[in-house]
Amino acid sequence: MLSSEHLALQKIQSRPEPTIHVDAFLYDEDFIDSLCEEGKMSRNYCTVLHADICTQGSLLQNADVVIMNNVFEYFLDEAEQARAWEYISHNIRKQGSLLLTVPSLEESLSGLQINIQLSPWVEEVPLNYDVFPEKDIDREALEQIHLYKIL
C-alpha cells in the first residue's frame, strides 16, 4: 500500500460517490446490476489478458498498470526471457504508468545476457508492507512484490 493511499474504511464515509467496485459478498447480483444500470458503478474496470506478451505492443504502450507475477522464470529459457524483457522494456514507456512485478526487475534480469538500464526507464516506489494486520502474513512473500513507476 502506498503512503498516498487510504484504507477503504477511512474513505467510505467521506466519499460515497462514485462507486468503482463493490465486493461481491456485500451485495447480490441484482443489486449490483441496478447500480450499473443507474450509472453508479461499472463492471469494466480492468482487463485480464492471457497472451504472449511479445504480441501485445499496443496494449503495453497504452496500459496504466501492468502486473507481472513470475512471468518467465519457469516457462522460458534464458534467451527467450531476454527477448521478452527487451520487448517489454521497449513497449512499456507511458510516463507515470505502473509496473508491478514479482520478483523484482533486478532479480528477473540478473543472469540474463541483456543490457536493460533500469534507472532511465523505471523508479521503484517504496511499499509499506506493514499495513497487513494479520499475524500469520507471509512477510517474505510480500517483500517479493515490487512496484515501479515508468519515467
State the pLDDT at residue 17: 52
State the pLDDT at residue 10: 47
pTM: 0.70
State the pLDDT at residue 9: 46
Name the residue ranges covered by the structural domains of the chain: 8-45, 48-150
State the pLDDT at residue 90: 98
CA proximity to 149, closest of 89, 98, 102, 100: 98
Cα 17 from Cα 38, distance rounded (Å) = 12
Per-residue pLDDT of the chain (151 residues), as tens digits, is 566 655 554 444 444 455 555 566 667 788 888 888 888 777 776 767 788 899 999 999 999 999 999 878 888 999 999 999 999 999 999 999 999 999 999 999 998 999 999 999 999 999 988 887 777 788 888 899 999 999 9
Residue matched to cell numbers 484504507: 7
Helix locations, 1-151, DSSP H: 8-11, 29-37, 57-62, 78-91, 105-109, 139-142
